[in-house]
Each structure stands twice: as structure tokens, then as C-alpha cells.
Amino acid sequence: MRRPLIAANWKMHLGRADEAQALVRAMMPALSRIEQIEVAICPPFTVLHALFDVLRSSAIALGAQNMHSEDKGAHTGETSPLMLAGLCQYVILGHSERRAMGGTGDTDEAINRKVGASFAHGLIPILCVGEDSGQHERGDTDVFVRGQVESALQGVTPEQVASCVVAYEPIWAIGSGKAANPADANRTIGITIRGAVADRFGEEAAQAVRVLYGGSVTAASIAGFMAMPEIDGALVGGASLKPEFAELVAAAVPS
């Protein structure tokens, strides 16, 4: 059985300790009553320590939104896996907003190195994949997403793959208010993403890896995604920035 995960991606919001702690404290009572679903908060780097202090006594996990693949070095402005190990359980890798940064962003090779580094330091990657609107309209989703999964997971062991999290986030659905159809997301996750994992790492890893859907998920839409057999939760951006995020998580619990 795969334990559902709902991860909050705060992006470049709520980066002051007072505002980040206030939001988490407002949600904690409601979130701690929900045992069936694991919750992770991925805030900006500036408040990881502040939230670590608030969350250490709770079951709510903490995640970073990116990291460098090297332990240390002359990389101004970067954050190393060593700095995150012990502070976070999760790290979002290869978010489309970072892949879109071109030369300075996440190439497939860089993401693959980061995935390896996350496992080496005991961090669970939340590996983001997903097609853009042109690929979606041309029917190229399966080939493109499969390629992203294969390249990100090169050199990883089946056991590591089994423990990792993949987030299927169609780029056209992110922040657009137009979520994917749950049945379509279920198909891409089941056939394309689990299929790619099965081909490379075996059926056991494919059945163990948790795969989330992300892109304009709301409290009103989450149940439709959770009802799908291949979807193990969600990566939530905009709807995770308010105390009502706790209602979204509550709505994800199977009735």
C-alpha cells in the first residue's frame, strides 16, 4: 500500500519566519487530526529552520524546493544536500519553473545528478515531470514524460526508486486554474510513469513509487484525483498558501 502524500509547494512566497510559522501554526491542529495522509510543507530556504522548530514535534514533513548536487564548493547562492540533510525529509527536484530557466536552470543531466545526491544524503526527491501545452496538443505527452523519468532516474537502484516520489505536473495546468482531467492524469501516471519505472527497475519498484498529480489542485478538485487508483496525492502550489490548505488535505481523505 502506498501512503498518500500531499506536498505544499510555497514557491517564492511566505519567506519570512513570522508569516511562515503563523500559517503552519494555524493549520497544525486540523492537519494533525488527519492520519491517513502524509503532509509535507516545502517553503523557501529562508524559513526552513523556522519551520523545522515548529514541525519537529508533529508528523508534518518538511521539504526544500531545490538543491545543488555537490556537497560544497564555489557555487554562490546555491544550497547543498549537506545543508538540507537532517533539516528536511523531502526535496523538490526538476520543477518546471526551474527547468524553464534555461542555462542556469535544471537540465535533465543536472536533475539526474541532484536525484543521486538526494539519495546519498537521505533526502527523498519529489521529482517533477510534465509536458507543455504544445506537446500536450500534439499528443507527445507520453514520449516526453517517459524520457524525463528515464533520464532523471539513470543510475538509481530499484530500492531507491521505490522510495522516491514523482510529481506529474502538466505545465499547462500549473497556476492556470485549469487542472488536468483526473482520468487523463491517472492514465499518464499509470501507463507512462509507472510503465517507465517498470521497464527499467521492475514491477515491484513501479508499484511502490508514489506518484502525485500537480497543477491547479484545489479543495474542490482534490477528491477527484484521489479517487484515481494510480494517483497517490498532490503537489499543491497556490492553494497551499492559506490556512484552508488544511481543508484541501481533509477533502483528500477517502470517504
Residues taking part in catalysis:
95, 169
Given the complex with ligand PGA, which of 51 and 180 has the nearer CB atom? Answer: 180
Residue type, 242: K
Query: What does the buried/exposed string (b/e) look like for 103-114 if buried means 16 or more CB atoms within 10 Å of the residue's CB?
Result: eebbeeebbbbb
| Angstrom distance (rounded) from CA 1 to CA 88 | 24
Least distance (Å) between residue 10 CB and ligand PGA: 10
Given the complex with ligand PGA, which of 174 and 205 has the nearer CB atom? Answer: 174
Least distance (Å) between residue 66 CB and ligand PGA: 12
Site string for ligand PGA, 188-217 (x = CB under 6 A): --------------------------xxxx
Least distance (Å) between residue 21 CB and ligand PGA: 22
Residue 224 C-alpha cell reads as 477527484
Least distance (Å) between residue 95 CB and ligand PGA: 6
| Count of positions on this chain that bind ligand PGA (CB under 6 A) | 13
Contact region with ligand PGA (CB under 6 A), list: 52-60, 63-71, 83-91, 229-237: 229-237
Least distance (Å) between residue 217 CB and ligand PGA: 5
| Angstrom distance (rounded) from CA 31 to CA 35 | 8
Given the complex with ligand PGA, which of 13 and 200 has the nearer CB atom? Answer: 13
CB-based contacts of 151, cutoff 8 Å, min separation 6: 108, 109, 111, 112
Judged by CB under 6 A, the chain residues 126 through 185 that form the site for ligand PGA are 169, 174-175
Given the complex with ligand PGA, which of 7 and 48 has the nearer CB atom? Answer: 7
Out of 6, 124, 162, 235, the residue judged to bind ligand PGA by CB under 6 A: 235
Given the complex with ligand PGA, which of 214 and 233 has the nearer CB atom? Answer: 214
**Footprint of ligand PGA on this chain (CB under 6 A)?**
9, 169, 174-175, 214-217, 235-239
